[in-house]
Structure 1
């Protein structure tokens, strides 16, 4: 049986479960369903009225995307941890690659990094998704953003803000590689990237 760890600086096990759940923007009912436990059990656990068996602790941890050790260690409640570059889920594009930065479950932001070889693009056609505030920031090289009927050539450290509901397309028309960041708020999930277990990341 896992104890409540009442002496931990960050509070009880239940408080840490609640902290991770809120960090991920999950309701109590959603976490209970994902973990395969009852809402009443989870509520009692978060309120310190019951303990969790090893099996239950593993289920809750898996649903939260953390290890059981992280639930027992108060030091990591404020962060979802480091996402190593080699571990980023990706979305292959045409002569380009899109990497997930904000892992699901998403809360307020959706962030991707993209790398474009010369001639690479997000695809032959412009696309739109949701009605979010979208910011595109060029971190290296030069890209062209086709936004509705307009074209914008953006270079390193240039950025542009637009609505994701406006048809758009990114293409690298230069002779050198380019890299960009996409930031969307709120998230507009549609597709599942390679290496991701949740359908909360999509090609933007």
Structure 2
């Protein structure tokens, strides 16, 4: 008889599935509701949460957007070097390290070893997109700081602000937001989002 454990693809798939389940529950969504939002089947999402399936990048993007997060934050759950939430020691990350992946119209690198152990989810975001794409919205507050380039930050209700190197913005959870290059050149930002409540962080 095949056991629950032997049907798990691997530990990375299991950790990603557990992260998706935790975020779904924190958002107070049922599997059926998440399936409706993502246009993915209920059975596939159930298998995914239990580590019995591995999502494509397209599926991961749909799930991330429905849960108010990003692909890279979900992929970070599979980091084999996860920081233990009960370990009081600092988390040191070297330049080549960190989960990387697409985020909206650019690429992001998570700046901690697995987001679930920390109260904040800091990442480096690089892009040159002039199309801001669809709005993102999540329950957590977020802070952005421009390292280089010029950015158009669109906070839907508040309008568009142009940010230059050294400029920053802080906006509350529930704020619809997106960004793009102001001139078509590459830009780099630090993005720091609060960790979702009830998803494994300390305190």
Q: Give the alignment's TM-score, normalised by structure 1.
A: 0.49
TM-score, with structure 2 as normaliser: 0.49
More strand by share: 1
